[in-house]
Amino acid sequence: MNHARNNTAINETAPRTVDPRIAQFPVNWAIYLGSAIYARDYSPDKAARRACGELVVQEFQQSLRSFPEISPERVYLSRILNVAVDLAVGIRTKKEIRASRLDDATKNRDLHYQRLVKAERWQGVLRLAAKLMLLSGFGYAVARAILKSEASDPLSSANENWASAAFCMGFALVATYVRSWVIDRRIGRLFRTHDDECRIAHTDYQRSVTREYKWAADEAIDAWERMTGRRPEMNTAAMLALLCPQVDHELDQEET
């Protein structure tokens, strides 16, 4: 019994002869076909990429039907097709999540910016008026204490008034400058927060979509190994390094 099991295991892993036509559909077709299905199903209407994706999928399906139903080649191509469909859906889901996070970050930035501008617009005038009233009296008191003029001297009284006004205006200018500096810092912090949220959204998207590509590559390699009894020449790392950045960049360009 053990001898029979060992023979079965050897037969399952031993290299097998396959139809030469299958060579035109290596394991990287799992990603190529996934991008074609994505273009067909999610590209804008009347887009050239949608038509190209439809053509690629149709030609692949025709090639799949050209093999016998129970043949290893058809089983391999069927699995590649299923993996490509799941990959297209996964990429679309990840892109929608990223787009939603980017949109939320932009809306949150705009909302807080409008609130900040509105608050400064209406409160700025009232604050300035209150400051001028308070500081004018404070400046008058300081000027009177420094000058120490007689109340009956009209020239000294005029000097006190001008000193009070000058002190008031100078302090108001300094306060305005400090206030504008504070507002600039708040606006800068608001935009930096927005940039950080966008960067995190893009980073999370790259990580999650890379997992989708890796899963598709592993499934395609396993399907090829089951069909041929040997590992393909292109491994998962090569597929991720050579194909995924290019394919994902093309899909992003199509959306923009």
pLDDT per position as a tens digit, 205-246: 988 888 888 899 889 999 999 988 888 776 666 666 555 555
pLDDT, position 10: 36
Distance of CA 100 to the CA centre of its chain: 9
pTM of the full structure: 0.69
Q: Residue 14's pLDDT is what? A: 53
Domain residues for the domain of 195 are: 2-255
Q: How far apart are CA 136 and CA 144, in angstroms?
A: 12
What is the maximum alpha-carbon separation in the chain? 127
Number of domains in the chain: 1
Q: In the predicted model, what is the mean pLDDT of the chain?
A: 76
Q: What is the pLDDT, as a whole number, of residue 159?
A: 57
pLDDT band at residue 77, thresholds of 50, 70 and 90? very high
Per-residue CA distances from 170 to 7, 101, 115, 131, 182 (Å): 97, 46, 29, 12, 19
Q: What is the pLDDT of residue 61?
A: 93
Mean pLDDT for 103-115 is 90
For residue 92, the model assigns a pLDDT of 92
Is residue 164 within 8 Å of residue 139, measured between CB atoms?
A: yes
Would you give the end-to-end CA distance of the chain in angstroms? 62
Distance CA 173, CA 91 (A): 55
pLDDT of res. 89: 94
Which DSSP category does 22 fall into?
A: G
Query: 14 in the Ramachandran plot: left (φ > 0), alpha (ψ -120 to 50) or beta?
Result: beta
Contact 206, 213 (CB under 8 A): no
Instruction: Output the pLDDT for position 240.
Output: 60
What does the pLDDT read at residue 236? 60
* Average pLDDT value for residue range 172-200: 82
Give me the pLDDT at residue 48, please: 81
